C-alpha cells in the first residue's frame, strides 16, 4: 500500500512508531503535497467564482500543475521510504559498493522532493497574487508548508552526504540543495507579501 492510499491517522501512527520508515523525508514530501493541495484549492475556488476573469485560464492551468506536483510528492514519499530501507539493508550487507549506491539514492530522492516543493512555492506566488482574496490565506499556508518541506528535504540531503565518498557527487548535490533552498526562501517571501497586501 502506498502512503497516498493510507488514512492520515495510520500514516502518522507509522511515523510515531519504532519503525525506521516512514521518516523525515517521507513526512516532508507529504507536507509538500499538502501545501500543493491548498494552492490547488485556491485556484479551483477562484476559477469557479469567476470563470470569465482574465486570470481564470492561468489559474486553471496552475491547478493542473499543482495536481501534478501533489502526485509527484506523494510518490516521492514512497520512494524516500524505499531509499531509507535500502540504506539499512546495504549497511547490513557490509558491501561498500551497495552502501555507496544506496547512500546516493538517499540524497537524490529528498533533493527531488525539495525541487518539486520549489515548483509549488513558485506556483503559490502566482496564486497569492491572483487568487480570490477570501481564499488567498490558504495559499499562503500552502506556500509555508511547501517551504518547510523544501528546507527539511535540503537538510536531509546534507545529512546524507556524509555517507558518500564521491566528492564530485557530494559537491554537486550540495550546490543543488543550497540553490534550491535559496530560491525557495526568495519566492516564499514574495508569496507571503502578496497574501498580506
Instruction: Look at 143 and 197; give whichever has higher pLDDT.
Output: 143
Mean pLDDT value of segment 54-61: 86
pLDDT(55) > 80: no
Output the nine-digit C-alpha cell for 93: 550487507
Q: Based on the number of CB atoms within 10 Å of its own CB, is 174 exposed (0-12), middle (13-18) or buried (19 or more)? A: middle
Cβ contacts of 82-89, under 8 Å, gap ≥ 24: 83/25, 83/108, 83/109, 84/20, 84/21, 84/23, 84/25, 84/26, 85/20, 85/21, 87/163, 88/20
Provide the pLDDT for residue 49.
Answer: 83
pLDDT(72) > 90: yes
Provide the pLDDT for residue 56.
Answer: 83
- The model carries a pTM of 0.95
Q: Which domains does the chain have, with CATH numbers?
A: 21-195 (1.20.120.680)
Predicted confidence band of residue 52 (pLDDT cuts 50, 70, 90): low
Per residue in 170-187, pLDDT (tens digit) is: 999 999 999 999 999 999
- Among 42-51, 91-100, 155-164, the minimum mean pLDDT is found in 42-51
Amino acid at each position: 500500500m502506498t502512503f497516498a492510499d493510507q488514512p492520515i491517522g495510520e500514516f502518522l501512527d507509522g511515523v510515531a512508531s519504532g519503525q525506521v520508515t516512514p521518516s523525515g523525508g517521507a513526512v516532508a514530501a507529504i507536507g509538500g503535497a499538502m501545501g500543493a493541495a491548498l494552492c490547488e484549492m485556491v485556484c479551483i475556488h477562484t476559477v469557479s467564482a469567476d470563470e470569465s476573469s482574465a486570470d481564470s485560464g492561468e489559474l486553471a492551468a496552475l491547478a493542473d500543475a499543482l495536481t501534478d506536483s501533489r502526485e509527484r510528492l506523494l510518490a516521492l514519499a514512497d520512494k524516500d521510504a524505499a531509499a531509507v530501507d535500502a540504506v539499512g539493508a546495504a549497511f547490513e550487507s557490509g558491501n561498500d559498493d551497495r552502501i555507496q549506491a544506496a547512500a546516493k539514492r538517499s540524497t537524490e530522492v529528498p533533493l527531488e522532493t525539495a525541487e518539486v516543493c520549489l515548483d509549488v512555492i513558485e506556483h503559490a506566488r502566482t496564486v497569492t497574487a491572483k487568487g480570490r482574496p477570501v481564499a488567498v490565506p490558504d495559499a499562503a499556508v500552502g506556500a509555508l508548508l511547501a517551504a518547510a518541506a523544501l528546507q527539511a528535504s535540503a537538510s536531509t540531503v546534507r545529512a546524507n552526504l556524509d555517507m558518500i565518498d564521491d566528492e564530485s557527487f557530494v559537491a554537486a548535490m550540495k550546490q543543488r540543495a543550497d540553490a534550491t533552498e535559496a530560491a525557495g526562501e526568495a519566492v516564499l517571501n514574495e508569496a507571503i507579501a502578496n497574501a498580506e497586501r
